[in-house]
Structure 1
Amino acid sequence: MLSRAVTPHLVKTYGNRWFMVTAETMDGQAAEQAMAEALLAEGGEVVGSVRTPFGTTDFTTALAQAKTAKPSAVILNLYGWDLVHALKAYTAAGLVKEQIGVGGMIGGEQIGRPLGYANNAGIWGLIWDPKINSESSRRFIQGVIEKYHHTPTSRCYHGYAAMTQILEAIQRAGTTDTQALIRALEGHEFDGLKEGRSYFRAQDHQHVQDVLVGKAYGKELGLGHYQLLATVFGDPVASTQTQNACAL
């Protein structure tokens, strides 16, 4: 869902010749596969790729290889501190001057904050953002601020949404039995703090929800580190049950 939502915006902004930098992890490989498939659907091509060990702090060599390939964009299939370090290296390597864009399947406030505005760049898929225009999202933000004295990130959203749904499922099922909870969650629609509907698809348990596309701010312009470019409803970008089968 994230890759299908963000790829058209990456292609429109930067072009469709990509170089991939991917973490040597299962989620890194899954992101690379999803982004490559979405790019192919847009008529693009992967002109090169490199994989980096999880926990890499120096991406100088990887980005030098990317620069040599002369792509229109470098796609970072990384997360956490790996992504923070890679984006700092992207800025240091001067790829902007080479008109090589940057982005990927997933970013967020948890990346933007330690990265800082000076190194913040690219177009990213976002799971949640503090600028979502829904009343429940605003209440969530206010609740976190009142208790923890900071604006939540999408990691906070993950925890809140997951714990809320499991506790409500226990209430509906009247038990903590695993199979009973699965049945209570299958097909269940709930307030996912977003504009569109959020629900667990019964046949494969896919959480169908809004996907956001954001452009990283290079300076402080408002709440959060990303300008929201689009809110993409979940149903049009969700894979079918057959497509969802793991092919790694």
Structure 2
Amino acid sequence: MAQDRRSLLKTAAAAAIAPALGAGLAGLPGRARAQAANTLRIGVLNDQSGVYREISGPGSVACVRQAIQDSGITQRGVNVEVVFADHQNKADVGSTVARQWIDRDGVDVIVDVPNSAVALAVNAVVREKNKAYFNSTGATTDLTGAQCSPNTVHWTYDTYMLAKSTGGAMVKTGGDSWFFITADYAFGHALERDTSKFVQAAGGKVLGNVRHPLQSTDFSSYLLQAQQSRAKVIGLANAGTDTINSVKQAAEFGVTRRGTKIAVLLMFINDVHSLGLNAAQGLVCTESFYWDLNDRTRAFTNRVKGAMGGNYPAMSHAGCYASVLHYLKAVGDMGVAAAKASGAEAVARMKAMPTDDDCFGAGRIREDGRKLHPVYLFEVKKPEESKGAWDYYKVLQTSSADEAWRPLAEGGCSLVRS
């Protein structure tokens, strides 16, 4: 039976201690060692209390639990334990938790990890320790590029996909001059960079940018600079509550009433819920999952939403579910001992097997660790168009799995044969 034990995280200066499962395996009696040998431990590492809580946090933990239940693996005699911790959006905290989980607590897999800087730090630790890592909520394409790893799968979205879908669509509809308001860390920089390339390739211009700290509350000066540039589009290269605050204040300043478009380059349905349709109507965004997309996505949502505390699953949550479900299928194919012995071998088995789940449908994992599935450009409905709770999106465009993602040859991943 899956077990959940809350990790306690305490930070002092640059150090973090995250006890999750007590002592390691050394010194355990024989029976306990036998039980541990047949136990998989999955660590959900994310933002439990900050800017990305609603798009990761407890919802990701609930979706991992649901994947374990849906896999049926525990009915076949395999024990699966889930632990979770808050990385506080700090790379040193995230890498310390990852290292302690693996070295002391026997964690086999780490999942989720929003914040690209933290994601890259955890990526390095997991590769060093030869465990498995499924990133759902970090967006940096470096996970399948310069820092690709045989131990990592990048599941849900990335900055290239977001930039191509949303940025490209805005230019086609006349938004050919841009000003960026960007979160000042790896994710924001990458999203601005990638979107700028697509804007310029389509004949548009970037007139300027401004960068803001994570978890900002006052965007007035940034919006004023954007308006003064006279750009047709203000691109928001941020996420979570930063995006929510940006959109709210843009509405208060009447930015769109003056004819300027707001391009939200990364927005989740949970952000729309927080904003409300009056403020969010007409915004365009890209996601790879929507709870009301089809019968399978609705079925998944109905199974998990009772455990999400009133929240609905976003694509980030769905990626946690789907990646763990596919991993457990691979474990069933190769055996628990082999999966625990080598995270790289477990990921190789996952790549060799086609993916199929209720969130993303059929797909596959590419050599560089990029999970491939369709991508959807959505427009937020007007209040009068919504038929009920969380009925927020209408599909504008669908990009196939073959066209949505960065071409394999362009990433520079060392795992890819030339």
The two structures share one fold, judged by TM-score above 0.5: yes
Q: How many angstroms apart in 1 are the aligned matches of 2:398 and 2:353?
A: 22
Conservation of the 8 A alpha-carbon contact between 2:374 and 2:404: no
Greater C-alpha radius of gyration = 2
1:186 Cα deviation from its structure 2 partner: 2.0
3-state SS of paired residue (2:196): helix
Number of positions where the alignment pairs a residue of Structure 1 with one of Structure 2? 244
1:169 Cα deviation from its structure 2 partner: 2.2
Aligned counterpart, 2:232: 72
Aligned counterpart, 2:406: 239
Pair 54,162 (structure 1): closer, same or farther in 2 beyond 3 Å: same
Q: Which amino acid aligns with 2:213?
A: P
Aligned counterpart, 1:172: 333
Q: Which amino acid aligns with 2:331?
A: I
Q: How many angstroms apart in 2 are the aligned matches of 1:116 and 1:163?
A: 32
The C-alpha deviation readout for 1:192-235, integer Å capped at 9, x for no partner, is 43676421102x11111111111123426134322221221121
Conservation of the 8 A alpha-carbon contact between 2:208 and 2:229: yes
Aligned counterpart, 2:176: 16
The range that moved more, 122-131 or 71-80, is: 122-131
1:60 Cα deviation from its structure 2 partner: 0.5
Pair 82,146 (structure 1): closer, same or farther in 2 beyond 3 Å: closer
Determine whether 1:40 maps to 2:200. yes
Pair 189,167 (structure 1): closer, same or farther in 2 beyond 3 Å: same
Please give the TM-score of this superposition, normalised by the length of structure 2.
Answer: 0.55
Determine whether 1:210 maps to 2:210. no
Conservation of the 8 A alpha-carbon contact between 1:119 and 1:218: no
Q: Could you tell me the percent identity over the aligned residues?
A: 23
Q: Which amino acid aligns with 1:224?
A: D
Aligned counterpart, 1:193: 358
Conservation of the 8 A alpha-carbon contact between 2:372 and 2:402: yes
The range that moved more, 113-122 or 75-84, is: 113-122
1:135-174 equivalences in 2 (<5 Å):
135-148=295-308, 150=310, 151-174=312-335
3-state SS of paired residue (1:97): helix
Picking from 254, 257, 261, the partner of 1:101 is 261
Picking from 106, 123, 131, the partner of 2:292 is 131
Q: Which amino acid aligns with 2:273?
A: R
Q: Which amino acid aligns with 2:195?
A: M
Q: How many angstroms apart in 1 are the aligned matches of 2:407 and 2:352?
A: 15
Structure 1 gaps of 5+ residues are none
Please give the TM-score of this superposition, normalised by the length of structure 1.
Answer: 0.90
Conservation of the 8 A alpha-carbon contact between 1:80 and 1:111: yes
3-state SS of paired residue (1:57): coil
The range that moved more, 7-16 or 115-124, is: 7-16
Q: Which amino acid aligns with 1:199?
A: R
The C-alpha deviation readout for 1:131-190, integer Å capped at 9, x for no partner, is 212x32122022124555744332321221122122222222212221211211224321
Q: How many angstroms apart in 2 are the aligned matches of 1:101 and 1:38?
A: 17
Conservation of the 8 A alpha-carbon contact between 1:88 and 1:115: yes
Determine whether 1:224 maps to 2:391. yes
3-state SS of paired residue (1:198): strand
The C-alpha deviation readout for 1:69-111, integer Å capped at 9, x for no partner, is 1111111000011111001111011111110001133212121
Pair 166,190 (structure 1): closer, same or farther in 2 beyond 3 Å: same
Q: Which amino acid aligns with 1:185?
A: M
Aligned counterpart, 1:184: 349
Pair 224,170 (structure 1): closer, same or farther in 2 beyond 3 Å: same
Q: How many angstroms apart in 2 are the aligned matches of 1:74 and 1:196?
A: 33
3-state SS of paired residue (1:141): helix
Q: Which amino acid aligns with 2:363?
A: S
Q: Which amino acid aligns with 1:225?
A: Y
3-state SS of paired residue (2:236): strand
Q: Which amino acid aligns with 1:183?
A: A
Conservation of the 8 A alpha-carbon contact between 1:106 and 1:127: no
Q: Which amino acid aligns with 2:226?
A: A
